[in-house]
């Protein structure tokens, strides 16, 4: 196993639990850091392992204990889990009890009908592979990644419950479910004695569906947490695209973001939000992260990073004063739902 030219001895920062706040996940007993780290992008075979290791360990030193993965993450699929598993084995194994490791299954990872969906076979087989990828006996949170209307929800929930009963997961989550199906899952899980811990949903200033469709209210009423992914709207809630599209930017080569959405309307709205951020002495990214975390239903914001400096910058969002009523009104004025997104 070639890790590259760096020192392999790691000791975690002793003050890591003083860096960022922790928040209770719904009505469970589990606290999560205000920021969780996602390995969705830049943790496959197309980026150096030594860079990935540096970022992961720096995140832990900053108090990020929750690392979010999925069988789909790469490229290729499963590569992100395998790479994290290498770092876990070499560096983080002594801290396994301090880590919250999550993985997801159900999003398509191949042409076979058993490599997608919410069937018992698909979910439990994927979990077995994920445990081997990560090199751990259990994950802390196991998610169904996307709803599968073609499979009875009872079967999907039954598979998730089995993962807990078999000791291969401590908690259960769902992702990308609409509120009505979320409610059904909540009731089925509760009846099985395995409450829903958390719902992972896309949420940002430019994507307000969780607050518009009732998901946040359901979280409060039913006692599950919410973890917000894409809080920076794939980079749209930064100053990256205010003037032009940089060479090599995500909008050029991503399947989730296209250059066409970066139009004059997007730039006008984003420039206004950026001006507000500057008036507060922070970046637009920090403002956007702070905005997501303003909601008590949101347990954690899921972020990624391509460098340790970017990670430091984003985590500094928690150091700024709370957003005022007037500032929130300005964000509502310029942060129009759907801006720059293919909804």
**Rounded to the nearest 10 degrees, how much is the dihedral formed by the CA atoms of 145, 150, 155, 161?**
10
Q: What is the pTM of this model?
A: 0.94
Q: What domains are there in the chain, each with its CATH number?
A: 22-235+286-325 (3.20.20.100)
Mean pLDDT per 10-residue section of the chain, whose length is 343 residues: 59 97 98 98 96 98 98 97 98 98 98 97 98 98 98 98 98 98 98 98 98 98 98 95 72 64 93 98 98 98 97 98 98 96 72
Angle 263-228-99 (CA atoms, 0-180°, nearest 5)? 135
- Rounded CA gap, 136 and 96, in Å? 9
**Residue 139 belongs to what H/E stretch?**
strand 139-144
Quick one: how many helices (H) and strands (E) in the chain? 12, 10
pLDDT in tens, 86-126: 999 999 999 999 999 999 999 999 999 999 999 999 999 99
Place of tokens 């950026």: 274
What is the signed CA dihedral for 308, 310, 312, 316, rounded to 10 degrees?
A: -170
What pLDDT is stored for residue 86 in this prediction? 98
- Give the model's pLDDT for residue 42: 94
pLDDT at 3: 53
What residues form DSSP beta bridges with 201?
228
d(CA 295, CA 315): 17
Q: For 178, which DSSP code?
A: -
Helix (H) or strand (E) run with residue 174 in it: strand 169-175
**In the chain, where does DSSP find H-type helix?**
49-61, 79-87, 120-134, 153-165, 179-191, 209-212, 215-222, 250-253, 264-279, 284-293, 308-315, 325-334
Q: pLDDT digit string (tens) for 43-78? A: 999 999 999 999 999 999 999 999 999 999 999 999
């Amino acid at each position: 196993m070639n890790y590259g030219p760096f020192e392999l001895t790691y000791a975690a920062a002793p003050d890591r639990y003083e860096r960022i706040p922790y928040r209770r996940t719904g009505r469970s007993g589990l606290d999560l850091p205000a920021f969780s780290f996602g390995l969705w992008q830049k943790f496959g075979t197309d980026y150096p392992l030594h860079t990935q290791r540096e970022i992961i360990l720096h995140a832990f030193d900053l108090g990020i204990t929750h690392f979010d993965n999925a069988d789909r993450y790469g490229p290729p699929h499963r590569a992100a889990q395998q790479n994290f598993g290498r770092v876990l084995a070499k560096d983080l194994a002594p801290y396994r009890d301090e880590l919250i490791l999550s993985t997801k299954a159900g999003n398509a990872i191949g042409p076979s009908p058993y490599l997608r969906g919410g069937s018992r076979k698909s979910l439990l087989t994927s979990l077995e592979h994920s445990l081997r990828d990560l090199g751990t006996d259990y994950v802390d949170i196991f998610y169904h990644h996307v709803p599968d209307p073609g499979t009875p929800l009872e079967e999907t929930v039954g598979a998730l419950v089995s993962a807990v009963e078999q000791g291969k997961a401590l908690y259960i989550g769902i992702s990308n479910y609409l509120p009505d199906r979320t409610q059904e899952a909540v009731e089925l899980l509760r009846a099985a004695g395995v409450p829903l811990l958390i719902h992972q949903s896309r949420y940002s200033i430019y994507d307000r569906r969780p607050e518009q469709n009732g998901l946040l209210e359901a979280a409060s009423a039913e006692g599950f947490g919410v973890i917000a992914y894409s809080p920076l709207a794939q980079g749209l809630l930064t100053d990256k695209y205010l003037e032009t599209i940089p060479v090599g930017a995500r909008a050029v080569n991503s399947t989730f973001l296209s250059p066409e959405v970066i139009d004059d309307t997007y730039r006008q709205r984003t420039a206004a939000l950026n001006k507000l951020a500057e008036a507060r002495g922070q970046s637009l990214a920090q403002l956007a992260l702070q905005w997501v975390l303003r909601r008590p239903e949101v347990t954690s914001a899921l972020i990624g990073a391509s460098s340790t400096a970017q990670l430091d910058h984003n985590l500094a969002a928690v150091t700024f004063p709370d957003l005022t009523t007037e500032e929130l009104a300005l964000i509502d004025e310029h942060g129009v739902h759907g801006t720059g997104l293919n909804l």
